[in-house]
Amino acid sequence: MTPSMSEEHLVLLATGGTISSRTRADLGGAAVASDGADELLRSVGGAHAFPVQVVDVLRVGSYALDVDDMLLVCSRIREALADPSVVGVVVTHGTDTMEETAFLADLVQGDPRPVVFTGAQKAADAEDPDGPANLARAIALAGSAEAKGRGVLLSFAGEVFPARGVRKTETVRVHAFGNPDYGRDGSIADDGRLNLAAAKARRPAALPLPHPGAACRVDLVASYPGADGAHLRASLDAGAAGIVLQGTGIGNANPLLCQAVAEATAGGAVVVTSTRVNAGPVVPVYGAGGGKDLLAAGAIPSGFLRPSQSLVLLSLLLRLGSSREEIAAAFAERGGTG
Ligand code: ASP
């Protein structure tokens, strides 16, 4: 970390990802996270509205992160905001699991100061990297009064999204994110000009950060043609305390999976039903292994939360020691339309 500053400033937390990646000939041409926060800031050039203090948190591809790594990023955000001269925080992060870390950070964020995630689709050594412009816009957003009180934001390719509901929707295109259910907060131009919709009046209360070491296993299990209970039972055998079931359609499985879900909940595991579909809520409608049977088997519908963000919320709540009833209430509130 650079020496702390007493004047108003921003903090840039770097975690790796494509924005920091370079091609390594010694690794067969694989791209790996390489640049630290200092180099990332230098890549932007120019002057910013506030000085930027840089902190290296991690230097990895986000596909390799676990929930504890994500909680570490959240702790670093909290540490940064403990300093009253910090006006906002930018986190550079791989795009693969940015929707997880940004949502986790949002769940524990009670501070109105802006926290903005960004990254890149093209590596730092690409001919025309998108990282520097994304980072410049994220820095401008994090330093703006309009970004306050909105919870954690994701700024990418000129678009600004709330963390809740945001998803990586493109593997290659630079417009890599969408938020099918909760929409965009607005846009930010290359020169930092903002066009944001009015902020929501109320946000759910921030959840506490769990004590480090409060680890617990939460697995993602999919329903698909021919799925049975083998994966779910293997997760329980491996010690899973929670399961996110990636259902089909409106949140359905099949009779064999429903049976395994009933066994899991009877044994004290918490099961949440989400869906592989891009948009719309999970609603218990169908029998014969559908969502109504999953509900009867004790599974909690995720609302609008996709499997990725359901896993983050369930992991956090289980680490906090929440009961099944508290978890159901949290999904109803945070997975709803409010
Ligand atoms: N494609 C990813 C990225 O944008 C790799 C990762 O998630 O780290 O950074």
Domain CATH code at residue 236? 3.40.50.40
Residues in the chain: 338
End of a domain among 162, 196, 230? Answer: 196
End of a domain among 163, 196, 229? Answer: 196
What integer pLDDT is reported at residue 4 of this predicted model? Answer: 58
Going from the Cα of 194 to the center of ligand 1, the distance in angstroms, rounded, reads 26
Q: Per the domain annotation, does 209 fall within a domain?
A: no
Question: Are residue 171 and residue 51 in the same domain, yes or no?
Answer: yes
**Active-site annotation holder among 15, 18, 97, 101:** 18
Of 279, 286, 269, whose CA–CA distance to 327 is shortest? Answer: 269
Query: Is 18 one of the annotated active-site residues of the chain?
Result: yes
Question: Are residue 153 and residue 237 in the same domain, yes or no?
Answer: no
Atom of ligand 1 nearest to the CA of 19: 9
What integer pLDDT is reported at residue 150 of this predicted model? Answer: 96
Going from the Cα of 56 to the center of ligand 1, the distance in angstroms, rounded, reads 17
Query: Distance between CA atoms of 89 and 138, rounded to whole angstroms?
Result: 9
Q: Which residues line ligand 1 (CB under 6 A)?
A: 17-18, 61-63, 94-96, 119
Q: Per the domain annotation, does 75 fall within a domain?
A: yes
Say how many domains are in the chain.
2
Query: Distance between CA atoms of 49 and 60, rounded to whole angstroms?
Result: 29
Range of the domain at 279: 217-334
- Rg (C-alpha) for the chain, rounded Å, is 20
pTM: 0.97
Using CA atoms, how far residue 81 sits from 115, 169, 278, 292, in Å, is 9, 30, 34, 44
Give the residue, by CA position, lying nearest to ligand 1 atom 6.
Answer: 94
Going from the Cα of 31 to the center of ligand 1, the distance in angstroms, rounded, reads 10
Domain CATH code at residue 133? 3.40.50.1170
Q: Which residues pair with 219 in a beta bridge?
A: 243
Query: Distance between CA atoms of 290 and 278, rounded to whole angstroms?
Result: 18
What integer pLDDT is reported at residue 1 of this predicted model? Answer: 43
Going from the Cα of 291 to the center of ligand 1, the distance in angstroms, rounded, reads 34
Give the torsion sign (CA, 275, 279, 283, 287). negative
pLDDT means per 10 residues, the chain with 338 residues, are 75 98 94 95 92 98 97 98 98 98 97 98 97 98 97 98 98 98 95 90 91 89 98 98 98 98 98 98 97 98 98 98 97 90
Question: Are residue 182 and residue 224 in the same domain, yes or no?
Answer: no
Question: Are residue 69 and residue 23 in the same domain, yes or no?
Answer: yes
Q: Which residues pair with 23 in a beta bridge?
A: 31
End of a domain among 148, 164, 196? Answer: 196
Question: Are residue 15 and residue 103 in the same domain, yes or no?
Answer: yes
Atom of ligand 1 nearest to the CA of 21: 9
Question: Are residue 118 and residue 35 in the same domain, yes or no?
Answer: yes
Q: Which residues pair with 155 in a beta bridge?
A: 160
Q: Per the domain annotation, does 207 fall within a domain?
A: no
